């Protein structure tokens, strides 16, 4: 990447713009309102709803909150990654099987691989996040008079993330490019995965792109050409609670397996890179 880092919401809209609800699409792409927000601020919705951290310590949680808020910011189009609970999603995943590398092949030799070979480091994801977050705050302090990443102005945060993405920041045994990609992948998964996994709070990610969720059948809507799809999104937990999967499986002769769908997240279907 040669151009400066920009928050992911613009990139997301370029990719998904055709699927946005008419009201959201009509707003267009405007300036990033998060740039004007005081550093370190967050809405009440960003609070950890469980009240318990499973992996992150207090400082790590603050740093992750600040990072994901720059990757997918809160703006006029809706909540960002911080408000959607992405930090809680990552906290749960890193405390579980994925964080411990339970399904990784973790025997040596460890050496640089090709992009097709995926993750090649000796570190588990949990070890990588712990080391990487500490290193990011250390680099921030050296470059900005003792300030942690969360204390920087948004433009300073973006500049540091740009350097991390380009591999210009030395994180020791953890390549900066690899850690940036882990942060980006985790943020995307937490923002668009089913809320049952801890992120996508209030289905903010699905509402942004117009994804309907896990309805078991769309057969009644297939021939409705030129008619807006207006059903609200449904999560796995909502489908289970309402018996939605059972009703549609009976009425349409389909399998209840469809009700277990939704955007994949760690711990759901088998995603790439050996993640559980």
Query: pTM value?
Result: 0.70
Is the pLDDT confidence value at 269 over 80?
A: no
Is the pLDDT confidence value at 245 over 60?
A: no
Where is pLDDT greater, at 237 or 31? 237
pLDDT-based confidence at residue 275 (cuts at 50, 70, 90): very low
The pLDDT score that the predictor gives to residue 276 is: 36
Mean pLDDT of all residues in 235-244: 74
pLDDT-based confidence at residue 9 (cuts at 50, 70, 90): low
**Percentage of residues in the chain having pLDDT higher than 70:** 68
The pLDDT score that the predictor gives to residue 134 is: 96
- Report how far residue 69's alpha carbon sits from residue 62's, in angstroms, rounded to the nearest whole number: 11
Where is pLDDT greater, at 31 or 60? 60
- Closest listed residue to residue 217, CA positions, set 181, 247, 240, 196: 247
* Token output for 63: 């740093």
Question: What is the 3-state composition of the chain as percent helix, strand, coil, each rounded to the nearest 5?
Answer: 50, 0, 45
pLDDT-based confidence at residue 3 (cuts at 50, 70, 90): low
- Report how far residue 175's alpha carbon sits from residue 7's, in angstroms, rounded to the nearest whole number: 21
The pLDDT score that the predictor gives to residue 210 is: 87
> How confident is the prediction for the chain on average, in pLDDT?
76
Is the pLDDT confidence value at 254 over 70?
A: no
Mean pLDDT of all residues in 213-238: 80
Taking only the tens place, the pLDDT of each residue in 205-223 is: 999 998 888 876 777 777 8
The pLDDT score that the predictor gives to residue 185 is: 96
Alpha-carbon separation of residue 168 from 64, 163, 172, 174 (angstroms): 20, 5, 12, 12
Is the pLDDT confidence value at 252 over 70?
A: no
Is the pLDDT confidence value at 115 over 90?
A: no
pLDDT-based confidence at residue 12 (cuts at 50, 70, 90): low
Taking only the tens place, the pLDDT of each residue in 139-183 is: 999 999 999 999 999 999 999 999 999 999 989 889 999 999 999
Concatenating the DSSP letter of every residue in 11-73 gives HHHHHHGGGS-HHHHHT-----GGGGSPTT---GGGS-TTS--SS--HHHHHHHHHHHHHHS-
Count the alpha carbons within 13 Å of 147 in the hemisphere toward its beta carbon.
14
- Report how far residue 32's alpha carbon sits from residue 263's, in angstroms, rounded to the nearest whole number: 26
């Amino acid at each position: 990447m040669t151009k400066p880092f920009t928050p992911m919401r613009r990139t997301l809209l370029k990719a998904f713009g055709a699927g946005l609800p008419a009201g959201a699409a009509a707003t267009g792409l405007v300036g990033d309102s998060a740039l004007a927000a005081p550093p370190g601020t967050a809405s009440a919705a960003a609070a950890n709803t469980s009240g318990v951290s499973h992996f992150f310590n207090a400082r790590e949680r603050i740093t992750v909150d600040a990072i994901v808020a720059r990757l997918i910011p809160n703006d006029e189009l809706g909540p960002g990654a911080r408000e959607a609970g992405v930090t809680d999603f990552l906290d749960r995943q890193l405390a579980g099987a994925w964080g411990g590398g339970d399904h990784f092949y973790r025997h040596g030799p460890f050496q640089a691989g090709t992009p097709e070979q995926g993750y090649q480091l000796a570190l588990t994801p949990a070890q990588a996040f712990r080391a990487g977050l500490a290193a990011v705050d250390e680099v921030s302090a050296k470059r900005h008079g003792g300030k942690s990443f969360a204390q920087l102005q948004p433009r300073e945060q973006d500049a540091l993330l740009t350097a991390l993405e380009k591999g210009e920041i030395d994180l020791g045994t953890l390549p900066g490019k690899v850690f940036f990609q882990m942060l980006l992948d985790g943020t995307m998964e937490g923002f668009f995965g089913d809320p049952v996994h801890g992120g996508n709070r209030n289905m903010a990610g699905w509402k942004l792109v117009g994804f309907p969720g896990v309805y078991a059948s769309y057969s009644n809507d297939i021939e409705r050409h030129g008619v807006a799809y207006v059903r609200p999104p449904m999560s796995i937990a909502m489908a289970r609670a309402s018996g939605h999967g059972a009703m549609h499986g009976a009425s349409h002769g389909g399998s209840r397996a469809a009700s277990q769908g939704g955007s994949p997240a760690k711990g759901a279907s088998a995603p790439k890179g050996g993640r559980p």
